[in-house]
Amino acid sequence: MKITADWLEDETTQAVLRLLNEAGHQAYLVGGCVRNALLGAPVSDLDIATDAHPERVIELAPQGGFKAVPTGIDHGTVTLVREGAVFEITTFRRDIETFGRHATVAFSDDILDDAQRRDFTMNALYLAASGAVLDPIGEGLEDLARRHVRFVGDAEDRIREDYLRILRFFRFTAWYGAPDDGFDPDGLAASAANCAGIGSLSKERIGHEMRKLLAAPDPSRALASMAQTGVLAQVIAGADPKHLGPLVHLEELHAPGQADWLMRLAVLGGEAPDDALRLSRNETRRLARLRDHLGSGEGAAELGYRIGAEDARAVLLLRAALFEAHFDPVSLQNADFGAAAKLPIRAADLADRFSGPALGAALRDREARWIASGFTLSRADLLA
């Protein structure tokens, strides 16, 4: 099997592979770029695996006009940069001893050693400069064709090397798995048996992975399986995915192509998801805003006026999913209308008649009447 792609034929990509090959080393693009190219999905990061040791990569870099940055040299990774193009070059490795995310590894000159320590078979595919695809394990191409997300070798062994792989298993199945085939049974069983290990992970790593999972086109089955196996409870205590499916359906109907991961997080509920996932300050504020307005009783236009069109639309979809209510698409237009409305008076316009707390109360009263009128009362009406 061969791949042809602009990013592979790019002169800089070919130059970095040629730099290593002409020095007598193996060099292959690996992982996500190969997987996505075969699936017809967008390709971003270009990672390269080689039998050249880090010191050798650094030594060769200037010959190809590359700057070498020892970003993870202890783990065999050197980043090469040229004209804005960035490549992570990692030496083939084999595990000596594993304990969670931290492992004792040795460099290897055998591509099979490197493939056997990767997480999923579809990520253990390698691409030569010629475009030829290598499948050292002999299972990756078949699994990718079936869109079957499966751990390399023994699922429990792979998970114990890094418990984040449990979340990656659900994320990759949500993104790349065949919709009608469900989850790999061995992977599911291993995830259930080892889910307590998630507690040993940093909240930042968990949050990073959950953002990607919730941004999948339809993460509802993945979250349902996480709940059934006990994984979701380890991530966010008390979270319940039963309303996620209806929300995704509403999104597909009324906001196609706009996967709002934070809105999906809001529908899960649970205890302190902002802390569990180490959300940023802005993300925490938005999550609280969505939750606060779910039961506020404000109409669509008022929601748009108070919290903006994007968040108003999210609240309207969340209400319909959570309360299993009929959804009127016109409400989205009303939210947009409200978001564009601007109160025609300011506090300064009332300062000749009111002061102190009475001024604020007078302004709020007029604002309420203006909203109740459907934003139709004029400046003269409000000042009369």
Please state, in angstroms and rounded to a whole number, the distance separating the CA atoms of residues 164 and 200: 9
Domains annotated on the chain, with CATH: 1-146 (3.30.460.10), 163-245+257-279 (1.10.3090.10), 286-383 (no CATH)
40 close to 2: Cβ distance less than 8 angstroms? no
Sequence-separated contacts (24+) of 210-215 with Cβ below 8 Å? 210/167, 210/235, 210/265, 210/277, 211/261, 211/277, 212/171, 212/175, 213/167, 213/170, 213/171, 213/174, 214/259, 214/261, 214/262, 214/264, 214/265, 215/259, 215/261
Please state, in angstroms and rounded to a whole number, the distance separating the CA atoms of residues 350 and 220: 51
Tokens of 86: 């960035």
pLDDT value, residue 384: 87
267 close to 244: Cβ distance less than 8 angstroms? yes
Q: List CB contacts of 282: < 8 A, sequence separation 6 or more.
A: none
pLDDT value, residue 102: 54
pLDDT value, residue 153: 96
Tokens of 158: 């792979």
pLDDT value, residue 94: 86
Please state, in angstroms and rounded to a whole number, the distance separating the CA atoms of residues 93 and 105: 6
pLDDT value, residue 364: 96
Give the residue from 161, 226, 217 showing the smallest Cα distance to 188: 226
pLDDT value, residue 98: 57
Tens-binned pLDDT, residue by residue, of the chain (384 aa): 899 999 999 999 999 999 999 999 999 999 999 999 999 999 988 999 999 999 999 999 999 999 999 988 888 999 999 989 999 999 999 876 655 555 567 899 999 999 999 999 999 999 999 999 999 999 999 999 999 999 999 999 999 999 999 999 999 999 999 988 899 999 999 999 999 999 999 999 999 999 999 999 999 999 999 999 999 999 999 999 999 999 999 999 998 988 999 999 999 999 999 999 999 999 999 999 999 999 898 999 999 999 999 999 999 999 999 999 889 999 999 999 999 999 999 999 999 999 999 999 999 999 999 999 999 999 999 998
Other CB atoms closer than 10 Å to residue 206's CB: what's the count? 21
pLDDT value, residue 214: 98
216 close to 222: Cβ distance less than 8 angstroms? yes
Please state, in angstroms and rounded to a whole number, the distance separating the CA atoms of residues 279 and 206: 10
